[in-house]
């Protein structure tokens, strides 16, 4: 190797070391790598939930379904899940973690059946998201990270419980009204209960 090549190689190595040093967070403190990885997985789950709700929203906008307030509700849910993902990304940056976005899985289905069936799918989705958040909080507790515990409790857990309760109430009421066999039940539910939710 010539003297010039050796000098260029040395300078490149020095530059790489400087870049590596610059990439190390100055603010990271008491933020375990397991928690960082779990936050990235939660971001993916929130974006997946948004994707599912978006699929539901456009399904109920179809002319053969025509439940506009169901569609509006699911649109709003989709946007809310994106907001959750963004909160987690902001948290990751505040703690000195790195965001690694992953592929978002497609929804398990493209046809959502009746309104009550879609609400039951949404209920299960919210319970899955809630369980993942509970696991995240447990991990933060095990790694003695009170800031992360507080963040999860403040911004997510109460909201999840309310969503689960609302979806369970709605599915119970729709079943009591005769859905999915009674199309009139879903029409009236869309026109009144869901319309009030969107107002």
Annotated binding site: 46, 81, 84, 126, 160
Kindly report whether the peptide bond that precedes residue 180 is cis, defined as omega within 30 degrees of 0.
yes
Distances (CA, A) of 71 to 9, 24, 78, 141, 146: 59, 45, 11, 38, 38
15/9 Cα distance (integer angstroms): 10
Cα-trace Rg, the chain: 23
| Helix boundaries (H) for 24-157 | 33-60, 68-94, 115-142, 146-152
Binding site listing for Fe cation: 46, 81, 84, 126, 160
Pair 46, 67: CB distance under 8 Å: no
Pair 44, 101: CB distance under 8 Å: yes
Distances (CA, A) of 141 to 27, 34, 41, 96, 110: 20, 12, 18, 19, 38
Q: Which residues contact 62 (CB under 8 A, 6 or more apart)?
A: none
Nearest CA among 118, 99, 117, 6 for reference residue 46: 99
């Amino acid at each position: 190797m010539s003297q010039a090549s050796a000098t260029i190689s040395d300078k490149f190595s020095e530059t790489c070391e400087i870049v590596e040093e610059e990439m190390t967070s100055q603010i990271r403190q008491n933020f375990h790598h397991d928690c960082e990885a779990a936050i990235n997985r939660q971001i993916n789950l929130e974006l997946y939930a948004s994707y599912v709700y978006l699929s539901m929203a456009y399904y109920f906008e179809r002319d053969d379904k025509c439940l506009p307030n169901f569609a509006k509700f699911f649109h709003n849910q989709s946007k809310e899940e994106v907001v959750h993902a963004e909160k987690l990304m902001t948290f990751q940056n505040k703690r000195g973690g790195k965001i690694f976005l992953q592929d978002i899985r497609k929804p398990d289905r493209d046809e959502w059946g009746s309104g009550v069936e879609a609400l039951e799918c949404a209920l299960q989705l919210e319970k899955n998201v809630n369980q993942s958040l509970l696991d995240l909080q447990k991990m933060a507790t095990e790694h003695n990270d009170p800031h992360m515990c507080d963040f999860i409790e403040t911004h997510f857990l109460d909201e999840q419980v309310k969503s689960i309760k609302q979806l369970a109430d709605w599915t119970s009421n729709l079943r009591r009204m005769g859905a999915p066999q009674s199309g009139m039940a879903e029409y009236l539910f869309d026109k009144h209960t869901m319309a009030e939710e969107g107002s």
